[in-house]
């Protein structure tokens, strides 16, 4: 409830791309719980209207969607520079990559709907709205990467 109150006060709702994987871009489609998670954390999912449940996403889609934040459960520690190296066209064209707003969150908290999803939503909210959660302390399982 506290998280919801804080995100309601946010000045904006960043456009979020939620990825599984970094080289091959897997996403959550229209019927997925992931969009509810992003909305609860104070964001707007750029894949919420895609008909497929989950599938591989094209580079062109990401370029057109221009997400403000990219959140993923990456197999390795992926940062904005690594993502730009894998997808060179994103470096200047995708705000999340250009501004270093590429974040990894532990898959155990965001990929399995269940009790831990609440912790995942809180961590996502801290990533999307760091100013609102500045007093929340450190978060070792969600971290901001540098460009």
Q: What is the mean pLDDT of residues 124-143?
A: 67
For the whole model, what pTM was predicted? 0.82
Fold of 2-144: Rossmann fold (3.40.50)
Write down the residue that tokens 């489609």 correspond to. 29
Q: What is the mean pLDDT of residues 118-128?
A: 90
Q: Reduce the secondary structure of 74-115 to three states and give it as a string.
A: CCCCCCHHHHHHHCCCHHHHCHHHHCCCEEEECHHHHCCCCC
Q: What is the mean pLDDT of residues 39-61?
A: 85
pLDDT, the chain, mean: 82
Q: What percent of the chain has pLDDT over 90?
A: 32
**Domain limits, the chain:** 2-144
So what's the pLDDT on residue 72? 87
So what's the pLDDT on residue 136? 46
Q: How far is CA 38 from CA 34, 42, 45, in A?
A: 6, 6, 6
Query: Both tokens of residue 38?
Result: 């992003």
Higher per-residue pLDDT: 10 or 128: 128
Return the minimum-mean-pLDDT range out of 50-59, 75-84, 131-140: 131-140
Higher per-residue pLDDT: 11 or 47: 47
Q: How far apart are CA 40 and CA 61, in angstroms?
A: 24
Q: How far apart are CA 96 and CA 31, in angstroms?
A: 24
For residue 57, the Cα-to-chain-centroid distance in whole angstroms is 15
């Amino acid at each position: 409830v506290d998280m919801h109150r804080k995100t309601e006060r946010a000045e904006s709702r960043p456009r979020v791309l939620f990825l599984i994987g970094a080289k091959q871009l897997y996403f959550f489609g229209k019927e997925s719980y992931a969009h509810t998670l992003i909305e609860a954390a104070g964001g707007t999912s750029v894949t919420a209207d895609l008909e497929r449940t989950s599938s591989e996403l094209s580079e062109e889609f990401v370029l057109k969607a221009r997400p403000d934040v990219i959140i993923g459960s990456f197999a390795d520690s992926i940062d904005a520079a690594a993502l730009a190296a894998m997808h060179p066209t994103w470096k200047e064209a995708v705000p999340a990559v250009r501004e270093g707003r590429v974040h990894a969150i532990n898959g155990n908290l965001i990929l399995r709907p269940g009790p831990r999803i609440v912790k995942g939503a809180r961590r996502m909210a801290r990533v999307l709205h760091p100013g609102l959660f500045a007093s929340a302390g450190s978060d070792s399982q969600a971290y901001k990467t540098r460009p």
